[in-house]
Structure 1
Amino acid sequence: MYSNTQTTSFQYDILPTFPVQGKLSNSYDELVDHLIQNHIHCIDGFVGVNWETPIKHIQQEFVKRGLTVRFVSMETALLPEAAIEEKVAPYLGGNDPLFGKKTPLELIAYFDTVKLAALQGMLKQATDSEYLIFYGPGAALLEVSSQVMYIDLPKNILIQRMRAGLAGNLACAKQSDQKELYKRYYFVDWELLNRHKRTILSRVEILADQQSAENLPWILGNDLKATLHVMSKNYFRVRPTFEPGVWGGQWMKEHLTGIDQQVKNYAWSFEMIVPENGILLENNGQVLEISFDQLMFQESSNVLGAAQPRFDVEFPIRFNFLDTFDGGNLSIQCHPSPSYAKAEFGENFTQDESYYIVDRKGDAQVYLGFQEDIDAENFRVVLEQSFRTGEPIAIDRYVQKFESQKHQLYLIPHGTVHSSGTNNLVLEISATPYNYTFKMYDWVRPDLDGKPRPLNIDRAFANLNFNRKGDVVKDTLLSQPEVYTLDAQASKVHLPTHEDHFYDVYRYEFADEVKIETKGQCHIMMLVEGEAVELTTANGMKKIFHYAETFAVPAAAKSYSLRNLGTAQAKVIQSFVKDHKC
């Protein structure tokens, strides 16, 4: 319904919320009462938290009560920075500007055992005359069974603080450029802090969200557990985030309500890239954001169903937009094989992708697969020469391109050369890994910061599949729809994926309503044509989702219905893990 001929925006919720089962608070007075009543002396938290603000307000509340409080930072028990650097260095990829390897380190490896024992001794010897509070990442290590408070920070807010020079890496005082900071976040900080959070989650009596400069919304642990449990049997939608890029377009700026219009363009919308997205919880106008991984840590079996034994707490599928409307071409690229992703980066599965065309205009193209006469050695020589000299390449001499078709699914299993051309709005349906793009050719252009974008020709040639060429591409990488009539007003369209893809894709088309069973799988969906649909789960929860909004129904929901709220036919894309890939 919403074609490229329309430039008016439509309803799109950039701050979707889920109702809290219990209450939220924004009161430091209530917070300190709860700390004292529950004898909580350890406040743990995520990297990037501005500890000065909550500590100041907590201290003021103790003073109001005529109580003496002493704060001890966990930084006092850290190993020397040089010792920590030695531990993390093997996972930072050396001089590689983009890639490292996910660390198996535990947070306790950052601490001096003697100093940690000294803090534990202080806690055991504490008296009523002075209330001791230990704060910072790792505080929960001081007491292995007591209740704790945890202050979280959404990853998109962390990245904003990093870009503003307000946040660095965990236990690292040195300043690096932003690519190095992000690389260490992704491969080291997030890995060990997420593992730590998972181990202590059952002990978290209070969880707070510190993205605001002054407010500190918080929730009690039991209310959080109850909320996540209800969510795991009904639905969820993460908070989307948006990023500009050198090839970014204007479709999202022109169509999505509430999006920042001051940004030059938007290349990506992280509709559901769960390693970075959060979930907003709401109660009586109060809002608190939790990291998506907390849902998975507690409820992975309910969320993933039959796929949980394979993926554990890793959510397997992502949805995101690539917007090139009035923008540029993506780089010519490919993604790693499963064995390469595991050996080089520590990933448990790889970045098998697909492009679903939500909108397009003009002569928009998709680059996919090689020409029949591709010569791998010559192609590499041409790429390397272009990189050295800055001379452009007539890339379609080597790579096929197809005029994009709205609602067509293009299959991009690992090793497939591909790119989106300009004037497409692509819904990228993919396995969750999202950072492993090996660029071979980037149209001889600088990045937004004016510096050359790094190319990864060596890594690409270690993974490219040169058998995906000529007619093989048309026969195996252009999904061929299979239509099944459900009733007089509804049909189900199967968009078969490649054997290398562990996920499948369907599209429901209906005038009034469809009823769907999860059959033990989590369903990730988006309304790709129409105005809005109303979801009703078997448990009776209802939620309206609008055009271009991504949402998911967990496996434990068992069944649900989608009712068309628009005047024209609704089309809902759906993806889930294939049963035989579990």
Structure 2
Amino acid sequence: MSIEEPMRKTEQEVMPGLTSKINQPQGYDIYPYFSLGDHQVFNGYSSLCDYIIEQKTVVIDGFVGVYWARLIGAITDKLIAAGFSVNLVESSVYLKSESELENMISPFLGTEDSVWGTKTTLQLSDYFDLSALSDVEKDSSADINIIIGCGASLSNWKAALIYVDLPKNELQHRMSAGSICNLGMNQPHESTEMYKRFYFVDWVVLNAHKKTLINEIDVFVDAQFEEGINWAYGKDIRNGLTKMSSSVFRARPWFAPGAWGGQWMKEHMPQLDRNEVNYAWSFELIVPENGIVFESDGLLLELSFDALMFTQNKNVLGRHAAQFGDEFPIRFDFLDTFDGGNLSIQCHPSLKYIQDEFGENITQDETYYILDCKANATVYLGFQEDINAAEFREALENSNLNNKEIDIEKYVQVHQAKKHDLFLIPNGTVHSAGAENLVLEISATPYIFTFKMYDWVRLDLNGKPRPINIDHAFKNLDFSRKGDRVKQELICKPSVLFEHDDFTCYHLPTHPDHFYDVHRLEFDHVVEVQTENVCHVLMLVEGTAITVESADGHRMTFPFAETFVIPAAAGSYKMTNKGTQRAKVIKAFLK
């Protein structure tokens, strides 16, 4: 269900539906796409209605956050104007009452003041009076029969299936504006509560539902655009996913401001809106929220990244697919503190804690790779040798209660940060990125389980304190990571793995708790790399640009700081340095 008036709260524009409307930059591109070939993406409600007229009966399912009322209005207006009688059934009519849904969902939402819940075990069918939805019949007297909305395919209609997708970044812009609701609700709520419910409940059930449909979908629709839609046939999209799964590609990144956010990305990524106060994060490859964009004849269509994993996880992950299934386990993101502030002093949960408390499969083991920094940049990492846990906790709680600054360096070590340093942050480690850094965070995929202990007595961009989670943190902090042990075990010491001609491969060893490893490939001209049935996530971290050609012949050029993926099934790829200085490429991969 959705609010009638389309709104979004962000300085960023909606992704253009046409490549001709994209201001192509010389450097970093925020709108990467993968070509489907010609005549495979279509534009507009009129062409979709032509398809519906051919079918006579259609099921239109899709994701939460879609402006269903607008979609229904546009389709019915065009069909009626063309002289057709339409029987249209909304699946939302058969949802259980809000009170029933609230009671059903509440066990997964944690306490009211918590930013976390537990990933639900519910299914989408649990939201509906399923027998009533199953009993809905077509109207034989109507020219066109349509059942539409989240869960529409749970009806018994045997008909062509149209699926309406929405990128999760766009969903969150709509959420922040109060223009959409959680699944089954009639009114929006406060953004943090809505996000919690999306993450732990709505997205879980709708992703599982999408997975059951993915190979049966006849038409995919991208509903993010302010005017109109783009769509493609399911068989063409699935062929595109197959090609992508053995080739080189980028996910579509997205960006968000924050309390500690900086100015590096705004200065170096010309397509970003300069009216935004800052950019704190870049979701380079946080695939639960990233999309992938297809192109045909200059038309763009975005799907959520999970469509690739639902259909091609074995090609993408190779020999690790059995372990991780549909989850893409490595994430890349930027933390921008240039001319900004320090991140909160924080830690992340142990594997058992995140599994027991939040229902995740893997935990948030991180590293900080320093992509750029100023001379005075620092990273907070590990405890001082004389740390007293009880005293530290008392200082934190007093600060939180009385809004009082503390001398954090009395308890936590601070380290000078230099370009290309790698700091290791296995779960339970106290840490923070200091100001004047652009951090490439190479991490395991979970991304919202940050237990903040101290946030420098500041407010968020809405003028409110950010949640502090001292109790969660102290159930996970490893106080043995202190003193000299921090420099020995948590600051990476690169070594040459091998070198020949103008190519050197450095090993940047991660912590034993990390299930991924890191290499840095440095070369002047050309280097060829074998995947060995393992997925590689890469970024040019020094140099102007490189061209990457996968074994299937697909070629893409990546400037400095763009993240790209080589699936395991690619077999091999060749990187060519397009600049005059030595190229340095970070490669992260599963151990």
Q: TM-score range by the shorter chain?
A: over 0.9
Which residue is equivalent to 2:69? 52
Residue aligned with 1:197, SS: helix
- Deviation per CA, 1:102-161, whole angstroms, max 9, x where unpaired? 111100000013321332xx13xx315342211000001113764310111111111111
CA contact (8 A) 2:369 2:422 kept: yes
Aligned length: 566
Which residue is equivalent to 1:5? none
Confirm or deny that 1:351 pairs with 2:368: no
Distance in 2 separating the partners of 1:237 and 1:336: 29
Distance in 1 separating the partners of 2:501 and 2:263: 38
Residue aligned with 2:588, SS: strand
Confirm or deny that 1:455 pairs with 2:468: yes
Which residue is equivalent to 1:132? 145
Amino acid in structure 2 at the alignment position of 1:17 = Y
Which residue is equivalent to 2:35? 19
Residue aligned with 2:232, SS: strand
Amino acid in structure 2 at the alignment position of 1:508 = L
Deviation at 1:521, TM superposition (A): 0.8
Counterpart among 422, 428, 431 of residue 409 in structure 1: 422
Which residue is equivalent to 2:390? 377
Amino acid in structure 2 at the alignment position of 1:475 = Q
- Deviation per CA, 1:419-462, whole angstroms, max 9, x where unpaired? 01110110000000000000001111111111111100000000
Amino acid in structure 2 at the alignment position of 1:135 = I
> Following superposition of structure 1 onto structure 2, how do residues 465-504 of structure 1 map, counting pairs within 5 Å?
465-504=478-517
Distance in 2 separating the partners of 1:96 and 1:339: 23
Residue aligned with 1:287, SS: strand
Confirm or deny that 1:318 pairs with 2:365: no
Deviation at 1:165, TM superposition (A): 1.4
Distance in 2 separating the partners of 1:11 and 1:63: 47
Deviation at 1:313, TM superposition (A): 0.3
Counterpart among 538, 547, 551 of residue 564 in structure 2: 551
> Following superposition of structure 1 onto structure 2, how do residues 95-134 of structure 1 map, counting pairs within 5 Å?
95-119=112-136, 122-123=137-138, 126-127=139-140, 129-134=142-147
Normalised TM-score (structure 1): 0.95
Counterpart among 429, 442, 450 of residue 437 in structure 1: 450
Residue aligned with 1:203, SS: coil
Distance in 2 separating the partners of 1:471 and 1:559: 41
- Structure 2 segments unaligned to the other structure (5+ residues): 1-24
Which residue is equivalent to 1:224? 237
Distance in 2 separating the partners of 1:530 and 1:446: 37
Counterpart among 99, 102, 119 of residue 85 in structure 1: 102
CA contact (8 A) 2:135 2:156 kept: no
Normalised TM-score (structure 2): 0.94
CA contact (8 A) 1:239 1:277 kept: yes
> Following superposition of structure 1 onto structure 2, how do residues 531-546 of structure 1 map, counting pairs within 5 Å?
531-546=544-559
Distance in 2 separating the partners of 1:436 and 1:458: 13
Task: Report the more deviating stretch, 146-155 or 363-372.
Answer: 146-155
- Structure 1 segments unaligned to the other structure (5+ residues): 1-8
Residue aligned with 2:215, SS: helix
- Deviation per CA, 1:5-60, whole angstroms, max 9, x where unpaired? xxxx9611010010014610014333223223345421001111112222223223
Which residue is equivalent to 1:293? 306
CA contact (8 A) 1:149 1:205 kept: yes
Taking only aligned residues, the RMSD between alpha carbons, in angstroms, comes to: 1.3
Deviation at 1:327, TM superposition (A): 0.5
Amino acid in structure 1 at the alignment position of 2:470 = I
CA contact (8 A) 2:134 2:156 kept: no
Which residue is equivalent to 1:74? 91
Residue aligned with 2:310, SS: helix
Residue aligned with 1:89, SS: helix
Task: Report the more deviating stretch, 126-135 or 396-405.
Answer: 126-135
- Deviation per CA, 1:496-553, whole angstroms, max 9, x where unpaired? 0001000000100000011100011110001110011000111111110110000000
Distance in 2 separating the partners of 1:187 and 1:277: 17
Deviation at 1:280, TM superposition (A): 1.1
Residue aligned with 1:343, SS: helix
Distance in 2 separating the partners of 1:315 and 1:174: 33
CA contact (8 A) 1:10 1:256 kept: no
Question: Are residues 549 and 511 of structure 1, via their aligned partners in 2, closer, same or farther at CA, if it must alter by over 3 Å?
Answer: same
Residue aligned with 2:432, SS: strand
Quick one: percent identity of the two aligned structures? 51
Distance in 2 separating the partners of 1:429 and 1:376: 29
Distance in 1 separating the partners of 2:188 and 2:275: 28
Deviation at 1:181, TM superposition (A): 0.6
Deviation at 1:96, TM superposition (A): 3.2
Distance in 1 separating the partners of 2:444 and 2:574: 26
Which residue is equivalent to 2:15? none
Deviation at 1:64, TM superposition (A): 4.2
CA contact (8 A) 2:56 2:145 kept: no
- Deviation per CA, 1:238-291, whole angstroms, max 9, x where unpaired? 111111111111111111121110011111011111111111111111111110
Which residue is equivalent to 2:260? 247
Distance in 1 separating the partners of 2:379 and 2:565: 28
Which residue is equivalent to 1:389? 402
Distance in 1 separating the partners of 2:406 and 2:526: 50
Residue aligned with 1:384, SS: helix
CA contact (8 A) 1:151 1:210 kept: yes
Which residue is equivalent to 1:3? none
- Deviation per CA, 1:321-353, whole angstroms, max 9, x where unpaired? 001011100000000000000011100000000
Task: Report the more deviating stretch, 474-483 or 53-62.
Answer: 53-62
Which residue is equivalent to 1:271? 284
Counterpart among 181, 194, 198 of residue 181 in structure 1: 194
Which residue is equivalent to 1:528? 541
- Deviation per CA, 1:459-511, whole angstroms, max 9, x where unpaired? 00000000000111111111110113432211001000001000000100000
Distance in 2 separating the partners of 1:145 and 1:301: 31
Distance in 2 separating the partners of 1:140 and 1:230: 28
Which residue is equivalent to 2:183? 170
